[in-house]
Structure 1
Amino acid sequence: MTDTGEAMLRFAEVETLQDLGTYVARARSLDADGAARLQGRGEVLAAWVQVLPGQGLLGSGLVLGLRVMKLDGAHELDATVPLAAVSDRLARRQSAGDVSAALQLPPMRVTPSWAAISPPRSGWVPRGEVTHVALVQTARDGIEAVARGTPAGAGAAAVASLRARVWGRQLSDDSAAPPAGMALAAHTLGFTGPDDTGTVLTSGPWTRLSLRNGEVLAR
């Protein structure tokens, strides 16, 4: 972890900053010690989080969440910061009665391996659709399977192996169906609503689930 000074994010609306807080809190429910990669380009912020870690040299099984937000004015930023530090900054804003739409990022920088892996920007081919009902049911079934299959005292390696099996399964028998881990991301990060249908796309080893409130990417 390094300290490289503080950067300022200025959002188009204070509600957008509050949305970032909700997103960070949801991501922390998956990994309390996780991080967010914040990429500001012009008036757009891309906020990346890891939902499931990848394994091996190719990072197979990696699942990332992406939320895009509107900024006020041009930004040029690429910083990976601890989720806990962002939550702390947001809590301090609230306690101080700060109602502005600006957030000074914490100075700490982290370098998780997933932050160095960038999905392709083009070449995505539509493969099908998946409903909100299917995503939520798959996520709930997987959460239950992991809880049921993790006995007291189970080692970290055993838990990681179980999670990889559960979340690596496809949503259906369709060869283009996304892995169940993408349903976990969509459901937990709040990307899908009752009337939503997600679009599944692929590009090389990557699968992308495009939803109204965010994107999930896996490889």
Structure 2
Amino acid sequence: MTEQSEMAFAEAGEAAELAAYLARQLRWDRTAAARLKAEGEVLAVFTRPARFEVLAVRPVRLRAPLALDRTVSAGELLEALDEERSAARLPAPVTGPSWAGLLPPRGGWRPVAELPHQEVGAAAAAVVAEFRERTERLAPPERTRSTLDALAEEIWSRQLPGTRLPLRAVHAAHALGLLRAAVPVRVLERAGWLRLRAGLGSTTVRSAGVGGLSVTPL
């Protein structure tokens, strides 16, 4: 396997799916970075939605094996996608943010729960609706950044029922479109980490110190 200047995806729709994922990510941060890792025929695209303490990964199947580890601009990667050819030019590397240097471990995960994707999607929709409803109840002078941040912290620091996974990981998976595939959602853990694995990708949080959520687009 050799590093190359272009990636070709295994299926015709893969480029469009990756484009949708990146567009959702860029809603939070137009300067977002993406770390690309491939060791074979699967490319893992890691991003971090702004103001979440959550790492997201969107796997994409490749047409041919590829060896790659590069941090790039998410916006440049989106522009480099060719949906007709189901391929992408590899953008130039950028100096990565601090999160890109500490990715979740690849193996050693222990399953702790399996839930229907509809149930997990409903949990995400419920907390988003609660945030909206409680925000709308505030008088305009009360809608300060600190008040909204505290409300978001309260809501998204709750745990997905039956697990220790904070709902910020569920919200991120929902907002990034990772819950759209109708397959069961699994919660896994490894020392220091918690992971939600959905049909189209995963979100992961450190299991120690789960605070720090701020207001995010809904």
TM normalised by structure 2 equals 0.77
Distance 1:215 1:118 in 2: 12
Pair 1:33 & 2:35 matched: no
8 A contact 1:33–1:84 mirrored in 2: yes
Change (3 A) 1:181 1:13: same
Write the mapping of 1:1-219 to structure 2, written as runs, cut at 5 A. Answer: 7-51=5-49, 53=51, 62-90=53-81, 93=82, 99-107=84-92, 109-147=94-132, 148-149=134-135, 159-172=148-161, 174=162, 176-193=163-180, 195-219=182-206
Moved over 4 A (4+): 150-161
Residue-by-residue CA offset, 1:164-215 (whole Å, 9 max, x unaligned): 332221022x3x3421112112212222247432111110121111222212
| Preserved CA contact (<8 Å) 2:181 2:199 | no
1:158–1:32 distance in 2 versus 1, CA, 3 Å:
farther
Give 5+ residue unaligned stretches, structure 1.
1-5, 55-61
Distance 1:88 1:210, change over 3 A: same
Q: Are the equivalent residues in 1 in contact too, given 2:196–2:202 (CA < 8 A)?
A: yes
In the alignment, the residues of structure 2 paired with residue 182 and residue 125 of structure 1 have an alpha-carbon distance, to the nearest angstrom, of: 17
Return the offset for 1:159.
4.5
- Count of matched residue positions in the alignment of Structure 1 and Structure 2: 199
Change in Cα spacing, 1:195 to 1:10, as seen in structure 2 (3 Å) is closer
Query: In terms of mean alpha carbon deviation, does 21-30 or 189-198 score higher?
Result: 189-198
